[in-house]
Structure 1
Amino acid sequence: MLDRHDRAARRARLRLIGIGVVTGAVVAAGGVALLHGLDDGDDPKPNAAPTATATASPGPTSSPSPSATRTLTPNTAKPAHLPKPAGQKDGASIGFPRYGYGPMAAAVYHLDELSVLDDDMVRRQLTVITAKGSEDSIDKAVSEVRKLREQVGLPPSGGTPAGMTITTTVDAAQAWALNSDGSVITVWMHYSRTATLPKGGPDDSPLRNQLANMILQWEDGDWKITTDPKWTAKKGDPMPYNPDSPASAKDGWLVVIRD
């Protein structure tokens, strides 16, 4: 028989998997949002950031090589090797490179690390990685996590149920600059999420084919999450990700690998 703690953990898992919750509060506060429910993306996509290159020009030979003529898809194009952060502070990775795949790496690490059910942890993480001017989003994040906790039968404040693990795996991403100097980047991520219980074994109903967006601003030597409406209104809207689709590669989707 499950004890009270295990029952709360099971309800939390079912809630997370059943309705597709993604870092509850982060939808409003941390700059991460599910594709469903976003505002329309009718504006043209902004300038591509240096991280979004998915094709290459053929060399100056009379006949292109097989690799040059091959139709590029995310699976056949060169993957994006994401640099490691320089360190961690209060549960959040910090110290990502300014250029190259730095902003994409920051988004991927933050999506993976942000707590779903621990309100205190979410506050500490977002305090570290939130840009100036977006601090009010932190309180909104904490409030949303507390609401989620109550919905799954947990006390409003507290940590993740003991033994419960939630794992996020980003397999592809694309990044675009929202301003002329590339200091504000919108990153879209395609990912899956699994949750396991203390005694429940592997997840038999994981989230698949999820999309999340994060807008990052270069500030004080690192990439910080911004929810400034000036930038969120320009975040763009990617086409659906398909690892075997030339259209996905042309749109900027890249397979991501953590170095």
Structure 2
Amino acid sequence: MSLSDDGGYGGDGHRGSGTGQTRTRLPDNEGDLYGSGRRPRAGMSSRNLVTIVGVIVLLLAAIAFANRGGSGNNESPSDDSAKDAAAGPARPTAPTGTKPVSGKNGGIATGFAKTEQGAQSAAANYVVALSSDGMYTAQRRDAIVNSVYTPAVAAARKGSLRKVYSDPKFLAQVGLKPDGGTPSGMTFVSRANPVGTKAEKFDGTTAKVAVWYSQLFGMAGQGSRNPVAESWYTSTMELQWVDGDWKVAGFSQKAGPAPVGGDQSAATAKDMSKAVLGFGGFTYAR
């Protein structure tokens, strides 16, 4: 389920609209909506395996070479490529000597450095908080909003968010009870997993940061009508330096870019529940 700045959600298959496409893998057996997935092909020879490994190694080498610099040709880049070139290449995590975050407020990282990397770290952590299952509980939602948004925006957003997350039709659509509770035997999953961040603008007290992330959303459990699925989004956050920390003043979102799904067997409902409950999230920092 994706974020939107108007207080609701949109852009994914759960709402029946949006620009993205949802791929559904039908189960091989009945009784488990997660299915057993596609079975691997039998009889693969060692020669075929060596050939496949060789192709992968060559592909990785080509990607590494391409990432070292320009292509060396005289072709003009597209508009998007020109914009990316002007903004500079994305930079990976690197040690700076500055402590990335100093504390937590209600489980949300706070006290980010007043730097470009600090703004990127804040944006990644705020995407996680605003996409979490805590948004479906009134008390936790208010705590998240107060921690993430600027004071003025937080005050304005609480009412619209309360209206969305208290709508019985919306809650029923995602498989929750009218009070936002999870049905017995089920595990509600709403978790964002940032892949990378990019600072599109930074001037010391304001920043514009794009966060590319995958979103796991659904209900894990036997007989679930809304099994956990993966979607991809890019959220761009407008941040302001307020009272010694970065806060969200607004954001926009678009679907994707989404990779091609891998040929893996879908987990059973039991295994998915165990994974969600057994693996905690991260505090993201650059």
TM-score, length-scaled by structure 2: 0.50
Distance change in 2, residues 1:27/1:149 (3 Å): farther
In structure 1, distance between residues paired with 2:68 and 2:189: 44
Q: Given the alignment of the two structures, is residue 131 of structure 1 paired with residue 161 of structure 2, yes or no? A: no
The match for 1:22 is 2
Q: Where do 5+ consecutive residues of structure 2 fail to align?
A: 13-17, 20-64, 72-80, 260-283
The match for 1:120 is 139
Structure 1 segments of 4+ aligned residues over 4 angstroms from their partners: 32-37, 66-69, 81-84, 159-162, 240-243
In structure 1, distance between residues paired with 2:68 and 2:2: 39
| Corresponding residue to 2:189 among 158, 165, 173 | 165
Letter in 1 for 2:192: T
SS in 2 for 1:27: coil
The match for 1:220 is 243
| Corresponding residue to 1:79 among 63, 72, 92 | 92
Letter in 1 for 2:5: V
The match for 2:48 is none
In structure 1, distance between residues paired with 2:228 and 2:171: 22
SS in 2 for 1:110: helix
Letter in 2 for 1:166: S
Distance change in 2, residues 1:34/1:177 (3 Å): farther
The match for 2:201 is 177
Q: Where do 5+ consecutive residues of structure 1 fail to align?
A: 1-20, 38-65, 244-256
Indicate if the aligned counterparts of 2:101 and 2:285 stay in contact, CA closer than 8 A: no
Structure 1 residue 102: Cα displacement: 0.7
The match for 1:251 is none
Aligned ranges 1:1-259 → 2 under 5 Å: 21-23=1-3, 27-29=5-7, 70-71=69-70, 78-81=91-94, 84-114=100-130, 115-134=134-153, 135-147=155-167, 148-152=170-174, 154-159=176-181, 163-177=187-201, 181-195=203-217, 197-199=219-221, 205-208=229-232, 210-227=233-250, 258=285
Q: Which has the higher contact order (CA 8 A, sep 6+)?
A: 1
Structure 1 residue 101: Cα displacement: 0.7
SS in 2 for 1:112: helix
Letter in 2 for 1:121: R
Indicate if the aligned counterparts of 2:2 and 2:10 stay in contact, CA closer than 8 A: yes
Equivalent pairs counted in the alignment come to: 183
In structure 2, distance between residues paired with 1:100 and 1:191: 19
SS in 1 for 2:150: coil
Query: What do you get for the CA RMSD once the two structures are aligned?
Result: 4.2
SS in 2 for 1:124: helix
Letter in 1 for 2:115: Y
Structure 1 residue 141: Cα displacement: 1.9
Distance change in 2, residues 1:80/1:159 (3 Å): farther
In structure 2, distance between residues paired with 1:86 and 1:67: 37
Structure 1 residue 22: Cα displacement: 1.4
Indicate if the aligned counterparts of 1:81 and 1:101 stay in contact, CA closer than 8 A: no
In structure 1, distance between residues paired with 2:102 and 2:93: 18
Structure 1 residue 29: Cα displacement: 4.8
Choose 1 or 2 for highest CA Rg: 2
SS in 2 for 1:103: helix
* Identical columns (%): 20
Structure 1 residue 177: Cα displacement: 2.9
Indicate if the aligned counterparts of 1:87 and 1:95 stay in contact, CA closer than 8 A: yes
Structure 1 residue 205: Cα displacement: 3.1
State the Cα deviation string for residues 190-231 of structure 1 (Å, max 9, x = none). Answer: 111113645369x763113x121222110000011114xxxx
